[in-house]
Amino acid sequence: MRKSIFVVLACLVSLLVVGQKGKTVSGTVRIGNEPGAGASVKLLPVQKNLLSNDNGYFRFANVDSGILELVVTLTGYQTYRQTLSLNDKSVVLDINLQNDTTILDEVVVKTLKSESVSGKLNDVSGTAIYAGKKTEVINLKNVNANLATNNTRQIYARVPGLNIWENDRGGLQLGVGGRGLSPNRSSNFNIRQNGYDISADALGYPESYYTPSAEALDRIEIIRGAASLQYGPQFGGLINFVMKEGARDKPVEITSRQTAGSYGFFNSFNSIGGTVANKKLNYYTFYQYKRGDDWRPNSHYDQHNAYAHLAYKVTDRLKVTGQYSFMHYLAQQPGGLTDEQFEKDPSVSVRARNWFEVNWNLVNLTFDYAFNENTRLNWRNYSLIGGRDAIGILSYINRPDNGGPRDFMSDKYNNFGSELRFIHQYKLLNNERNTFLAGVRVYKGLTKRSQGDGSDGSGADFEFEGPEPNKSSYRFPGNNVALFAENIFRVTKKWSITPGVRYEHINTKADGYYYKNNMYIEDEKVFENKSNPRSFVLLGIGSSWKLGAASEFYANISQNYRSINFNDIRVVNTNSRVDPNLKDETGYNIDLGFRGTFRNWLYADVSVFYLKYNDRIGSIFTRDTSFMTYRLRTNVSDSRNFGLEVLLEGDILKAISQGTSKYRLSFYTNLSLIDARYINTKNTAIDDNLVENVPPVLFRSGLSFGNPRFNVTYQFSYQAKQYSDATNAESTPTAVDGAIPAFSVMDLSVGYNWRWFTIYSGVNNLADRKYFTRRADGYPGPGIMPADKRNIYVTLQFKM
């Protein structure tokens, strides 16, 4: 009772104070059902001005009575104006902004409605420019798939041109390559999380050992080769994992997902998030544990994954965000198979002593400052402290493991990066809104790599035998400074041109030793201390022609670059050797396409591309003087890849019922046709050969039926025959090189929601196809890496 009286008195006092100091004008800016964050809100003629917060909320205090005008502006949307008459009470508004058809290239283009999986990025988003670029967005909240295992085939089903390596059922690592680039640990993409690097070493070893949990992702953003101007020189482009944040409309939201599946799989994902401190502090954190055994022996794994996010709105203009990611996993690797073993029984394992361990710690601190509605600054600072250890038998898979010391490789990574971005929107003589972006990136990487004989046991004993590694031990420091700029020039209301430039200075170093193998005398210890500085400029230009509010033609061309690294050269592997005279790779990407939403039920993106790759590093199947076959990694030749990419996604029932149906019958079709060949070479053994790791046909299609309560999704995937080396060998005794036959695979997923509970279930590889997507020359092989057999999963989710 006393508490109730106190609350009433407090409210009366507040009303008296407000009455003395003036009225308030407050409200929420919305864009459909989403908050309109960062909108400029002006109150005239008193000249008060502020920005709406992350929830779209704004509030003017101490406003005198009278006739006022409220003006709300947000780039890409129509200006909102309303006359207010403040007499006896304050005003609370609910404002819904409409798309501005006069500035079409800043409208968020999403396919259909929020229920869709596919989409594209804004032409201007935050402090980035995507105008005229090939972009794709995967909205994870609408994906009905096996998220507990990060099932790549299902999650990326709507992204054309992706070659996916499927030999990791637990989803511990991501292996994707686009448009004919190797999927090996996704190293041809710049992999980021919330805009910052997460790979091992962007300079010396750009491979991804850490993959964010799909259950914690809001969306995945993909920008193809033209991303070289803003995100680094990689040929593949950018993959950016955008993590979930806490609920903006409640102080606490809890999600718990428990998954069980075939072969002893168990996954527990638990998160909590919300917005507190007068809507200024947003927080989100999760912990995930998963374990399992594959359908082959010697394949147990355990993974721990955690994440914490804090974002504080210091003022209406300044936001500070801190994030921490942790991952550790230990996996036993069953090794590869020969062609004969795979055909006879792919479930066997001939390696029982191979282990792999990863430790990952990522820290990020970001500052966002809005000078006004037209000018913004973003400064992100990030660091990686991590490592990976691998111990096992790497000899040819057609040779038995007779015991003895195992090969042990140990990497430690200590990297720091800082990236500052400035974006400004302005008008020129034709009164069209143009956008200028400039940025600078400073990066310092350090990889410590050692290789030598390890324990002769069978467990995860990550230690060297002897006082020091007896094969090699190196420090690979590297420094990078990059400057970049792009500008959207809007020539007319429909046509825009976006030129860009990037300057890179890279200096990679090597300091250490390796043992040179001598046949008849003791191995020689060779010390090295090298430095390789280089600078270059990348140019690019894109263009977009808007046909209406939701469709456009787009085109771009951008230069690319990929440097060789000392740590690529100093790895001893009996299955693969490296040419010591490797040199950097150069080239460019071209895109020409059309995309848009039609009659509010069909989204299409149809494009052609051309990728030119000079001095491409690849693998050649060859023999040494003792007639032993091995894979040689060298600058094979120039190559050119060109192809067609098609994505169609639509809601059939929406088309038939004109939007009145309570159900959705949606479909998607993803097709890519790629011709990739080696050119400009004097080596007749590979001239006009197909480039390795390039399926000429990739086709994925699916059908989904449901409503907000239940959903059932079927997916079919087909991949044509490809080769694993430049000589296009059909098979080899060691199985390191050879053909990868065509295959097809089906998946089925269902989901049902009841109040706070949702149950998901599904079958992956529904027809139990026997196939493989990869031949490995080292870990986790060597040899053929079989893909998963049919497996089942069930997920129970609780959310409140």
Contact 296, 308 (CB under 8 A): no
Q: Is residue 293 scored above 50 in pLDDT?
A: yes
Contact 605, 222 (CB under 8 A): no
Q: Is residue 686 scored above 80 in pLDDT?
A: yes
Q: Is residue 5 scored above 80 in pLDDT?
A: no
Which pLDDT belongs to residue 243? Answer: 97
How far apart CA 525 and CA 515 sit, in angstroms, is: 4
Q: Is residue 516 scored above 50 in pLDDT?
A: yes
The chain-wide mean pLDDT, for the chain, equals 88
For the ranges 67-71, 301-305, 496-500, the lowest mean pLDDT is seen at 67-71
Which pLDDT belongs to residue 102? Answer: 35
Which pLDDT belongs to residue 568? Answer: 61
The CATH superfamily holding the domain 104-237 is TonB-dependent receptor, plug domain (2.170.130.10)
When comparing pLDDT for 7 and 796, which is higher? 796
Q: Is residue 270 scored above 90 in pLDDT?
A: yes
Cβ neighbours, 10 Å, residue 767:
9
Q: For the residues 164-184, what does the mean pLDDT come to?
A: 91
Size of the chain, expressed as the number of residues it contains: 800
Q: Is residue 554 scored above 60 in pLDDT?
A: yes
* Strand 162-164 with 176-178, pairing: antiparallel
How far apart CA 115 and CA 185 sit, in angstroms, is: 31
Which pLDDT belongs to residue 119? Answer: 87
Q: Which runs of E-coded beta strand occur in 91-236? A: 91-96, 118-119, 124-125, 128-129, 135-139, 162-164, 176-178, 189-193, 196-197, 217-223
Q: For the residues 414-440, what does the mean pLDDT come to?
A: 93
For the ranges 68-82, 288-302, 657-671, the lowest mean pLDDT is seen at 68-82
Half-sphere exposure of 352 (CA within 13 A, CB side): 9
How far apart CA 419 and CA 425 sit, in angstroms, is: 20
Separation in Å, CA 595 to CA 260, 493, 590: 40, 18, 16
Percent of the chain with pLDDT over 70: 91
Which pLDDT belongs to residue 111? Answer: 38
How far apart CA 698 and CA 643 sit, in angstroms, is: 11
Which pLDDT belongs to residue 738? Answer: 94
Check residue 156 and report its DSSP letter.
T
Check residue 5 and report its DSSP letter.
H
User: What pLDDT digit, counting tens, does each position of 634-666 carry?
Assistant: 888 899 999 999 999 999 998 898 777 889 999
Percent of the chain with pLDDT over 90: 65
CA 430 to chain centre: 38
Cβ neighbours, 10 Å, residue 660:
8
Contact 482, 500 (CB under 8 A): no
How far apart CA 520 and CA 335 sit, in angstroms, is: 32
Instruction: Look at residues 716, 750, 75 and name the one whose alpha carbon lies nearest to residue 374.
Output: 75
Q: pLDDT tier at 550 (50, 70, 90 boundaries)?
A: confident
Q: Which amino acid is at 374?
A: N
Cβ neighbours, 10 Å, residue 211:
23
Instruction: Look at residues 194, 190, 191 and name the one whose alpha carbon lies nearest to residue 217.
Output: 194
Which pLDDT belongs to residue 236? Answer: 94
Give residue limits of the domains in the chain: 18-96, 104-237, 238-799
How far apart CA 728 and CA 718 sit, in angstroms, is: 21
Contact 185, 176 (CB under 8 A): no
Contact 81, 568 (CB under 8 A): no
For the ranges 63-77, 275-289, 621-635, 691-705, the lowest mean pLDDT is seen at 621-635
18-96 maps to CATH 2.60.40.10: yes
Beta-carbon contacts of 660 under 8 Å, excluding residues fewer than 6 positions away, are: none
Counts of helices then strands in the chain (DSSP H, E): 6, 45
User: What pLDDT digit, counting tens, does each position of 95-151 carry?
Assistant: 988 765 333 333 333 434 446 788 899 899 899 999 999 999 999 999 999 999 999
User: Per CATH, the architecture of 238-799 is what?
Assistant: Beta Barrel (2.40)
SS3 content of the chain, % helix, strand, coil (to 5): 10, 55, 35
How far apart CA 669 and CA 699 sit, in angstroms, is: 8
Q: For the residues 683-701, what does the mean pLDDT come to?
A: 92
Q: Is 714 helix (H, G, I), strand (E, B) or coil?
A: strand
Separation in Å, CA 467 to CA 95, 140, 453, 464: 70, 49, 11, 8
Which pLDDT belongs to residue 602? Answer: 92
Which pLDDT belongs to residue 50? Answer: 81
Q: For the residues 437-461, what does the mean pLDDT come to?
A: 95
Query: What is the dihedral sign for C-alpha 457, 463, 467, 470?
Result: positive
Which pLDDT belongs to residue 579? Answer: 76
Contact 667, 708 (CB under 8 A): no
Which pLDDT belongs to residue 52? Answer: 84
When comparing pLDDT for 252 and 32, which is higher? 252
Q: For the residues 499-506, what does the mean pLDDT come to?
A: 97
Contact 524, 515 (CB under 8 A): yes
CA angle centred on 610, ends 607 and 613, rounded to 5°:
150
Which pLDDT belongs to residue 90? Answer: 79
Spell out a b/e string for 586-599, using b for 16 or more CB atoms within 10 Å of the CB, else e: bbbbbbbbebbbee
Q: For the residues 521-538, what does the mean pLDDT come to?
A: 89
Start-end of H helices in 494-626: 566-569
Which pLDDT belongs to residue 630? Answer: 66
Check residue 690 and report its DSSP letter.
B
Which pLDDT belongs to residue 394? Answer: 87
- The dihedrals phi and psi of 170, each to the nearest 5 degrees, come to -80, -10
Q: For the residues 17-25, what does the mean pLDDT come to?
A: 58
Q: Is residue 687 scored above 50 in pLDDT?
A: yes
- The dihedrals phi and psi of 6, each to the nearest 5 degrees, come to -65, -40
Instruction: Look at residues 113, 124, 68 and name the one whose alpha carbon lies nearest to residue 93.
Output: 68
CA angle centred on 341, ends 573 and 686, rounded to 5°:
55
